[in-house]
Chains A and B, each alone.
Chain A
């Protein structure tokens, strides 16, 4: 079959992801940041589809854009952000922090240039039709223990969130 992963779609989705990430870290209003983050998450789900990972793309949309972002928006509505909008949005270490992050990016670029040979250009095609089945077999087979531990982690997170958000224990 002809690949759907055409360069145009890759560049479009990558630009959308990075643009919305820039909007997330620069907007004054936290609601605008959350909406930009949702756009970026959806674009990233498109990138997962281009990488032949439909199950991860679906989980990304349902769990991230559907679940976690609703949690964020709820909390933004619960806490009163109006006072902090009038204040300075960036802290005193903003120049040093940005420079450190750019140095980190330079490190990434150096690693990619030196290690280019480690990433083979040709990819062995994974059958995307049975992707969900294969992921499920791995998840309930080889990664069974980690899967159960993840459920325990979620239980602890639920209890922790309830205890911390409660007024009086």
Chain B
């Protein structure tokens, strides 16, 4: 079997990123859209850690900062979702059109 190189990890991360983008673009449920955003952030993290094996530990530090960002984003996004659900009794993202002109 071929040894596992950095490129293998990059391909996995690219596929994960693609699945996350498909989820963001096609799903209607806001909770699942937020989960797809987590998938995208995870793909970025996998890239950063894969590169950190080649070029030092800075990639891992950035991965930790990305995880921090994901936590903040999830908290704010779910807070918005609860506020929205209280007003309109729906979690479908195409019914979120209050700001649409």
* Residues of A that sit less than 8 Å from B by CB: 5, 7, 10, 14, 17-18, 21-22, 24-25, 27, 30, 33-34, 37, 40-41, 44, 47-48, 50-53, 55-56, 59-60, 63-64, 67-68, 71-72, 75-76, 78-81, 83-84, 87-94, 96-98, 100-102, 104-105, 108-109, 112, 116, 119-121, 123-124, 126, 131, 134-135, 138-139, 143, 146, 150, 153-154, 156-158, 160-165, 167
Contact = CB atoms under 8 A, between A and B. Distances in A.
A22 B19 contact: yes
Main secondary structure, interface of A, reads: helix
Nearest to B2: A7
A160 B66 CA distance: 19
A52 B84 CA distance: 42
Contact of A154 (B16, B34, B58, B68): B68
A91 B39 contact: no
A68 B60 CA distance: 19
Interface string B17-53: 1111111011111011011101100100110011011
Given A7-B1, A21-B19, A91-B94, A97 B26 contact: yes
B21 A75 contact: no
Nearest to B53: A123
B31 to A, nearest CB: 5
A104 to B, nearest CB: 6
Contacts of A156: 72
Contacts of A27: 32
B92 A84 contact: yes
A17 B21 contact: no
Contact of B29 (A22, A50, A81, A167): A81
A120 B51 CA distance: 10
Contact of B20 (A21, A120, A123, A131): A21
Contacts of B93: 91
A153 B6 CA distance: 32
Contacts of B90: 83-84
A119 B6 CA distance: 7
B82 to A, nearest CB: 5
A66 B92 CA distance: 26
A51 B42 contact: no
